[in-house]
A and B are shown apart, each in its own frame.
Chain A
Amino acid sequence: MAERSYTGAELEPQFDRSKLGKVLAEADVEITDEAALRYARTVGETNPRFSRPGPGLEVMPGMLIILDRPMDRVPVTFPFGKLAFPGGNTLEAYDLVRPGDILHIAVRLTEVYVKTGRAGPMGFVVHEKEYVRRRDGKLVARSKDTYLTRP
């Protein structure tokens, strides 16, 4: 079967380019003991650092990527797109987060691009988040959320 080829216009993502790189939404999220413990339980973590209530309790860094609440996302349409699905997550953690910390989270649309391979085109939409601790203004983490679109 001949491979379907796509023209330039079909590969051009449609979205509001003025939003690229701008803060789309911001929110303060307080990490509670309960939330930190509940997250650790759902991934089966028994390490006392993350599962024993008390002053030494640490937040599992992976919890940060589910803290973003219903934040704005820029709608992006790829003319060739039929299937859209999560493509991956990246987390960089710069400091320990503990229950009681209030994190200021800001989300930006940072990249929209198309790659074409043997299987045809694939559209990438990347939103990034920064997590700043209110108490000391420290950037404690950054994360990336990649969404893919395929024909």
Chain B
Amino acid sequence: MAIQTQGLRKEYGNKVAVRNLALCVPRGSIFGFLGPNGAGKSTSIKMLLGLVSPTSGEAFVLGKPAGDVETRRKIGFLPEHFRFYDWLTPAELLRLHGRLCGMPAARLRERIPEMLDLVGLTPHKDKRIRAFSKGMMQRIGLAQALIHEPEIVFLDEPTSGLDPMGRRLVRDVIRTQNKWGATVFLNSHLLSEVEITCDNVAFLKDGEVVASKELRAMGTEEEVHVTAHVRNLSDEAISALAPWATGASLEGEYLTASARSGDGLPEILRHLVRSGADVYSFTAEKASLEDLFMRIMGEDRGL
């Protein structure tokens, strides 16, 4: 396991930031950590990185207790509220972070131009960071997190403040790192980004993991929304959909239902036709991560 926690808890005075965090992140996976504001995501990441001490519980990163100094050599981190020494140029900042990671000077000389190129900052390499836009800051932050070729990368809101090109770049970088075998721990509010990037997700609510999903399996095995344009559909035929779908209801000529899995779709269509209904259209959409998120968190939870 890349990350394993048990009963991890953090209290700040009377406030419980993280209640009972139990996580298992497999090595080599892209893991999405989701939850509304104040759910305890950043505190959890800080505990995994050793920036914050847990009140109780255990956390292991790459098999060593969280915060272990030597293990940090294999960890990259892009903080949510990234602030760097803005009086440096991007190349100088990367050199500083590389040196702090113990990288030899010769390797750094090769690696710095590579990283600047990767995040698209080569044309700005001589500018001071204080002149950078938020998106450029995010890019240099990503480069400093990856300069030492870490085995696990923690990215706290890596796409906030980025334009669509920047988001795509982050997505590509995440995939490339993952292809090389790195584990990526992604904390993001942009569920569509998470959906297309991550292998697994965990939903955090009030400091606890309330659900976890394997996103790659969200195909035929996951719930699917069905909408059908039908005429002459009897109430009995609607009730008889129960073995394959839940929440079936007819409004005018439109039937909506939630199929338990993609495998049940042919059965539903067959049943409708056999019951004597005239089917004019039949559409099926798998539940998006956002639907799942809203259902788990409740509609009243703002992001």
Decide whether A and B are members of one complex. Answer: no
Residues of B within 8 A of A (CB): none
- Interface residue ranges, A against B (CB under 8 Å): none
